[in-house]
Amino acid sequence: MVLRRLLRKRWVLGVVFGLSLIYFLTSTLKQEERTIRDRNLLEARDPDHRIPWKVRFNLGNSSRQITQCRNSIQGKTLLTDELGYVCDRNDLLVNGCCNVNAPSSRQYICKSCLANGCCNIYEHCVSCCLQPDKQPLLESFLNRAADGFQNLFTAVEDHFELCLAKCRTSSQSVQHENTYRNPQAKYCYGESPPELLPI
């Protein structure tokens, strides 16, 4: 009862309104500061940003201890690690690398990929893209990337991240924004879009 009477007074409503206005203005200013900071970070990036093409560690005869591998994570049954190995999820080691001794592990597998660089399986696309001989193709793509893609691909730190980003389904893989050009080859690392199949 007392609270209801108090809320009817104009000065209480004025205080509530004033505090709400102050909160709104400070939130807006903080958001604007974040936007300006992000824009400055993008502009401060080196326009000649080069991607390091060498993976940080080597397998096989290397005497260095492998610490961690990044991998494609989202595959239900298959994964690709940053060394280009594709393996069953069951054959993934605790450090994130594929167990190279497992029967399912294969390096630089392009089994489901077409000659234009479009693949049926995402993990095969990433693995095939990681082949050292694909570097000129990827560098050519980066040099010609449109401004819209430039912000996306300048955030990429190395060859593995570039292949992850490039193989994800992109606007090149679809027509009319709702159907795949080729549902059997929708993951592409190549320059040309998938061949358009008749409906």
Q: Where are the domains of the chain?
A: 1-42, 76-186
Contacts of 64 (CB under 8 A, 6+ apart): 57, 58
pLDDT at 62 over 50: no
Identify the band that residue 128 occupies on the pLDDT scale cut at 50, 70 and 90: very high
Contacts of 145 (CB under 8 A, 6+ apart): 153
Tell me, what's the pLDDT at 55? 38
The model's pTM is 0.63
Tell me, what's the pLDDT at 67? 73
pLDDT at 98 over 90: yes
Place of tokens 């605790």: 94
Q: Contact at 8 Å (CB) between 69 and 95?
A: yes
Tell me, what's the pLDDT at 184? 75
Q: Contact at 8 Å (CB) between 108 and 131?
A: yes
Identify the band that residue 90 occupies on the pLDDT scale cut at 50, 70 and 90: very high
**Nearest residue to 129 via CA among 66, 58, 181, 187:** 187
Q: Minimum mean pLDDT among 25-34, 41-50, 66-75, 148-157: which range?
A: 41-50
